[in-house]
Amino acid sequence: MNEKRFQRVWITGGSSGIGRALALHYAREGAYVLVSGRNAERLDEVARATGGATYPLDVTDAEAVKRTVAAVWEDAGPLDLAVLNAGAAFKREGRDDTAVNLKRHLDVNLMGVAHALDALRPRMREAGGGTIALVGSLAGYVGLPRTSGYGTSKAALGYYAEALWAELQRENIDLKLISPGFVKTPIIAANEFPMPFMLEPEEAARIIARGLERPGFEVAFPRRLAWPLRLLRVLPASWRVRLVAAAERRARRR
């Protein structure tokens, strides 16, 4: 099997959850790990554990993202892998704050990734290639109740990745989409519904790392949640929304 090994890895959202677990995983594998995030104190803890470097960053600030990518490149040299993991899930402030909630999610989960990809792509192309992983979610597969902001942003990210994949392949950049299910991280605190097949961040990191080393566009897990959602996605929309609504009614009665 054609597998990769990564020596220089940059991870956004690296101070907690999946990002932190991935940083620790790659450090154990011998990679030089660079992490970004908004919490400088937690970033420093990760750096002490990995022996890597930290770059505090708010991914919604496009100019700050450009400066950070330039600093990462200057300090570490060309990256083998960039994991664009920074993300957020916000609770609605009121019953009808749809536009407010959606914009907050899109700013972080879609535009934050786009800012980083714009800064990384020309540098990685000039260096001869590399791997960029976008962390989406199984929540982007189908429209789930009470996830209109988060789910829409992740669905858009999946489309974005698919649309760019062929372009980046021609530039020797391997674009991957990571689609996790429920992982025990701070981001799930906003969820107001049952979360089956919950994984620990360390297990999620192992699955992601294996997937990134192998050929293929998407790493979706756990399979026992990914496959039912994939099957739902191929149904006519009129069937799908009724099935999802019926499942939610059953969950609310429990």
* Helix, strand counts (H, E) of the chain: 9, 7
DSSP per-residue codes, 167-217:
HHHHTTEEEEEEEE--BSSGGGGG--S---S-B-HHHHHHHHHHHHTSSSS
**Which of 32, 55, 141, 150 is the catalytic position?**
150
For residue 119, report the phi and psi dihedrals to the nearest 5 degrees: -75, -35
Known catalytic membership, residue 150: yes
Which of 6, 23, 8 shows the shortest CA–CA distance to 76?
8
CA–CA separation, 172 vs 127, rounded Å?
10
CA–CA separation, 33 vs 16, rounded Å?
14
For the annotated catalytic residues, the residue numbers are 150
